[in-house]
Amino acid sequence: MGGELFFADADSNYPDADFVIFGAPFDGTSSFRKGSRLAPDAIREASYNFETYNPYFDIDLADIPFHDAGNVDIPFHDAGDVDIPFHDAGDRDIPFYDAGDGYIPFHDAGNADIPFHDAGDGYIPLHDAGDRGISGNCTVEQAQAAVDEMVTRILSDGKIPIMLGGEHSLTVPCVRGSKNHFNDLGVVVLDAHFDLRQEYEGEVNSHACVSRRIIEDITDNYISIGIRSGTRDEYSLARSRGITYYSADLVEEKGITHVLAELSRHLDLDTGHLYLSLDMDVLDPAYAPALGTPEPFGLTDRQVLSVIRRLAPRSVGFDLVEIAPGFDSGNTALLGAKYVCEFIASAQASR
């Protein structure tokens, strides 16, 4: 496993743990903003901000046996440099007010003696060497195989896997492993995007195809919440195949309580177990700006919290994906870490 940073209070050893966290640092098919390979450790670092006590459930994380298994061994995929937005306004004369002699123009020469390369309109390329202990090169299929091995082991040992992505393509092996262990599995995905493409940029296992792969290859006992982006073909496919989804507009109009009340009506009648996938871009960028593909007019942080609290008790697995931590000052990773804490507390409180 790569890396030495672990999720706060994940102090149990593996045999004693009920929940097992692992990181999957891969963003090889990310198409707009790369960097989600950096998210697992960013989320772990943010987790140290919080108290262990959860007043909503009257439960303490310090009393819950959970383990951080580190990052899966994914050979490093060189996805290129991470673009971090930077606006160079150039040099300009700034009026300065002197109470004695009036306005005196002065020249701001910028920061001295710090060389940097301006790559054009506002981007400084930053190279990330990947997670510690990860080397070589990797395809999305290899990354999925590594995740599949980890999830299969965790589920076989009677524990609940919690994956810190990484991009959303890595949800597919998590769902497949869960389906192999629980034949009555239902899948709930929180996402801004349909992800129903057959392929994207020549890759059938792209992050833009994850829901298509789940529905066609694993189970059609599937619901998505927060949808507000997709091609015309994706919307047509959802209608023609009767795929159940709740748009962000519907959540806003009806309320998240209404949506949650309807969920069980749309899942198969014999659904006894759920897999819950949280693509953080389901949130409005006001709450989570550091994302691979941010989409305005999304859900609020508390609406997503309501989904987690309602569904965690029935969930046999959980993932949180698509944070690109280089695009804010840490707030998105902070929110992601809190959601992980809430999932564990919610699931434990129902036992």
SS (H, E, C) 204-236: CCCHHHHHHHHHHHCCCCEEEEEECECCHHHHH
Percentage of residues of the chain with pLDDT beyond 70: 81
Mean pLDDT of 240-249: 96
Question: Are the beta carbons of 2 and 25 closer than 8 angstroms?
Answer: yes
pLDDT score for 35: 93
Q: What is the pLDDT of residues 74-96, one digit of tens each?
A: 865 454 555 544 444 444 444 43
Strands 123-126 and 82-85: antiparallel
* CB hemisphere CA count around 173 (13 angstroms): 25
- Which sign does the torsion angle of CA 201, 205, 208, 211 carry? positive
Higher pLDDT, 323 or 105: 323
Return the residue matching tokens 């999830």.
Answer: 151
Q: What is the mean pLDDT of residues 113-120?
A: 42
Give the model's pLDDT for residue 97.
Answer: 39
Per-residue model confidence as pLDDT tens digits over 32-47: 899 999 999 999 999 9
Tokens 């994956």 map to which residue?
Answer: 163
**Do 169 and 144 form a contact (C-beta atoms < 8 A)?**
yes
Domain 14-81+136-349: CATH superfamily is Ureohydrolase domain (3.40.800.10)
- Rounded average pLDDT over 260-275: 88
How far is residue 148's CA from residue 153's CA, in Å, rounded to a whole number? 8
User: In which element (H, E) is residue 19 found?
Assistant: strand 19-24
In the predicted structure, residue 114 carries a pLDDT above the cut 50 = no
Q: Grade residue 107 by pLDDT with cuts at 50, 70 and 90.
A: very low
Predicted confidence at residue 98, as pLDDT, reads 45
323, 37 contact by CB (below 8 A): no
Closest CA to 286 of 295, 276, 274: 295
* pLDDT, tens only, 281-339: 999 999 999 999 999 999 999 999 999 999 999 999 999 999 999 999 999 999 999 99
Lowest mean pLDDT among 79-93, 241-255, 264-278: 79-93
Residue pLDDT, tens place only, 4-33: 799 999 999 999 999 999 999 999 889 889
User: In sequence order, what DSSP letters do the residues of 279-314 get, joined into one string?
Assistant: EGGGB-TTT---BSS--SS-B-HHHHHHHHHHHGGG
How far is the CA of 16 from the CAs of 12, 20, 44, 79, 153, in angstroms? 6, 10, 21, 37, 14
Q: What does the pLDDT read at residue 266? A: 84
Contact 195, 211 (CB under 8 A): yes
pLDDT of the residue at 186: 96
Average confidence (pLDDT) over 202-221: 91
Average pLDDT of the residues in 146-168: 97
pLDDT of 158 above 50: yes
Where do the domains of the chain lie? 14-81+136-349, 84-126
pLDDT at 94: 40
- What is the average pLDDT score of the chain? 85
What integer pLDDT is reported at residue 80 of this predicted model?
52
- The residue among 319 and 99 whose pLDDT is bigger is 319
